[in-house]
Structure 1
Amino acid sequence: MDAVWLEVTVETTGAELDSLSARLTGNGATGLVIEDEEDFKSFLEQNRQYWDYVDDQLLERMKGAARIKFYVTDDADGQGQLAKWMEGIDLPYTTARLRENDWATSWQKYYKPMAVGQRLYIVPEWERGEAVPDGRTALYLNPGLTFGTGSHASTRLCLEWVEEFAREGESALDLGCGSGILSIAALLLGSREAVGVDIDPKAVGVAYENAAMNGIGRDRYTVRAGDVLTDMALRAEMARQRYDMVLANIVADVIIPLSLPARELLAPGGVFLCSGIIDTRAEEVCAALERNGLRVVGRKDRDGWVALAAKQEVAKG
């Protein structure tokens, strides 16, 4: 039988968070989770280059937050531990019962096979074995590993572009690859080889694992940790092999400076497919692409998000 835990939430004020944390730690408490609206806002501001949009539900959950959470087992031992950890702390707290299995698998019910474009069919790995519609190519994915499940409008738009531009025997470069969904899709749809790059080193193992689920080995797929905007050696290495398709499903503030190295990384006649752009910033991104020698040849819109396709301007004369 699954263990049952208590999630204990102690409400306080922002000014008292540090002292409460110190008192709980002094009482032997471990695994503290601190939620503070002001720290959350500072984090968003300091890292705003990585997103244009933050989920409304997350913003609401953090509104006015100044709380500490910790977990004990829902039994006599856990109750004794809770009493010891709260000793001398005269603050109200609430508890919520959680089964261990709830943490591990409850989120899976939200992910079901999903058709994208005309040919792709995104399948959670635990649904392997279910029938795939005729004419569609299954892309198996573990959505719990990292960002990039195919469900977000920006990812779906970019996958539709990949479907249109992937060609037999060509190559793809996925910048900010995350789960690897875009580059894996390119390989399944005909690309000869692909490279994924992400600033998060954890993405390397994740993308390789998802590729393996789809029968794609490292002879065709390479994943690297790094940032082509700041690592000139990595950019030079990538540029030695120009790519027929460069992909970037990130945000406008990253795509804009990325438009210059993207041109350098494209093979003659190659296409830069970029998504994750809020519609109010689409013209700004188009202007940056054109300024850096990339001609916008297509645009897709969905749910307030935009994905662009751009090609190198060919020199005349």
Structure 2
Amino acid sequence: MKWLQIHITVDQAQVDFTETLLNSLGAVSVTLDDAENQDLLEPLPGETPLWNKVIVTGIYAQEDDDEIDVAALETFIRAQMPDSPLNYEFLEDQAWERTWMDAYEPIQISEKFWIVPEWMEAPEADAVNIKLDPGLAFGTGNHASTFLCLQWLGKTDVKDKIVIDYGCGSGILGVAALLLGAKKVYATDIDPQAVLATKQNADLNGVLDHLYVGLPEEFNETFQGKQADVLVANILAGPLMMLASEFATLIKSEGEFALAGVIEEQVTDVSNIYYKFFDILDVDKREENWCRISGKRK
């Protein structure tokens, strides 16, 4: 079997029409991609943002004994959307699951500290190796903000300490803290899929018994009256600013924290709010202007 991919570049306002058109013509799936390298930050709950220019791709199965009339299909689409750039290609059948897995490689965070996809061998067997299943939740180590938090954890003394992973995504930061010696990690996220992914990745690394994860309401009830030695939050500048006073109640005096998901232009605004409760000790930057703010509770 071959697969026909039809790519149409459209404005944001035309996306729904284009999806409907491709589906009506028998597409087995339709995907959306950025056409202009425009950054999209992680959406807030209920939001589904799109790029200004979008590549809408319809995938069609071409059986060996029932070939698609590509010329007729192209003519029909161009008649409906004469001003939209269109191109197509054929793909040979392949093991799609294997192709997806091949996109991931071990990532070295620092000396003797790695993220390793669960199906691969660790480059250094005696290192701290986080086994990860890149599932449905944010946080594989490839993104600059996640990498910055992992770097910070790698050089922070978390041994025998209580750590909060706020906005845990895949659970990669909480799992890393436990593998680095933390006594207990309390993790939370607004996404139920993130809660599930965190449990799965903690179990994969043999640290599930030392991790609690729940939705924010459950987390607040469970953690009530407690304070952490360390807090790491890899979310976005807006939520971070709203959570500053809450974080101040969650961290012990002199407790350490790291915030990420902040771009360079937002550092001053975030820091100004956190100065009320925290001493800002360091701001570090990685590619594409992503920054990490770290310090201690006053």
State if a TM-score over 0.5 links the two structures.
yes
Which ranges in structure 1 are unaligned for 5 or more consecutive residues? none
CA spacing shift, 1:144–1:235, aligned 2, 3 Å: closer
Contact 1:24 1:85 in 2 (8 A): no
User: CA offset at residue 151 of structure 1?
Assistant: 2.6
> Counterparts of 2:33 and 2:106 in 1: how far apart (Å)?
34
Q: Which residue of 2 aligns with 1:124?
A: 117
Q: Among the aligned pairs, what percent are the same residue?
A: 30
User: CA offset at residue 108 of structure 1?
Assistant: 3.5
Contact 2:23 2:58 in 1 (8 A): no
Contact 1:154 1:275 in 2 (8 A): yes
Q: Which residue of 1 aligns with 2:66?
A: 77
User: Paired residue for 2:214, among 219, 224, 228?
Assistant: 224
Q: Which residue of 2 aligns with 1:97?
A: 90
Letter of the 1:159 counterpart = L
User: Paired residue for 1:302, among 286, 290, 297?
Assistant: 286
Which ranges in structure 2 are unaligned for 5 or more consecutive residues? none
Structural mapping, 1:272-311, within 5 Å: 272-291=257-276, 293-303=277-287, 304-311=289-296
Aligned-partner SS, 2:68: helix
> Counterparts of 1:7 and 1:308 in 2: how far apart (Å)?
43
CA spacing shift, 1:146–1:78, aligned 2, 3 Å: farther
Q: Which residue of 1 aligns with 2:206?
A: 215
Aligned-partner SS, 2:155: helix
> Counterparts of 1:66 and 1:213 in 2: how far apart (Å)?
36
User: CA offset at residue 182 of structure 1?
Assistant: 0.7
Structural mapping, 1:197-216, within 5 Å: 197-216=188-207
Contact 1:147 1:179 in 2 (8 A): yes
User: Paired residue for 1:269, among 251, 254, 266?
Assistant: 254
Q: Which residue of 2 aligns with 1:254?
A: 239
Letter of the 2:262 counterpart = I
Q: Please, what TM-score do these two structures have when normalized by structure 2? A: 0.78
CA spacing shift, 1:271–1:102, aligned 2, 3 Å: same
Contact 2:159 2:181 in 1 (8 A): yes
Q: What is the RMSD computed on CA atoms of the aligned residues?
A: 3.8
Q: Please, what TM-score do these two structures have when normalized by structure 1? A: 0.74
CA spacing shift, 1:213–1:237, aligned 2, 3 Å: closer
Letter of the 1:132 counterpart = E
Contact 1:125 1:142 in 2 (8 A): yes
> Counterparts of 1:114 and 1:23 in 2: how far apart (Å)?
41
CA spacing shift, 1:111–1:27, aligned 2, 3 Å: closer
Q: Count the aligned residue pairs.
A: 289
Structure 1, residues 101-125: CA drift from partner, whole Å, max 9, x if none? 4642324344322221344111121
Q: Which residue of 1 aligns with 2:99?
A: 106
Contact 2:167 2:189 in 1 (8 A): yes
Structure 1, residues 3-61: CA drift from partner, whole Å, max 9, x if none? 53222345677777666655665666554446798xxx9xx6994799xxx9xxx96xx
User: CA offset at residue 290 of structure 1?
Assistant: 0.9
CA spacing shift, 1:126–1:6, aligned 2, 3 Å: same
Structure 1, residues 120-177: CA drift from partner, whole Å, max 9, x if none? 111121213x44165x311111235432122333222211221233433211111111
> Counterparts of 1:143 and 1:12 in 2: how far apart (Å)?
30
> Counterparts of 1:83 and 1:24 in 2: how far apart (Å)?
15
Aligned-partner SS, 1:126: coil
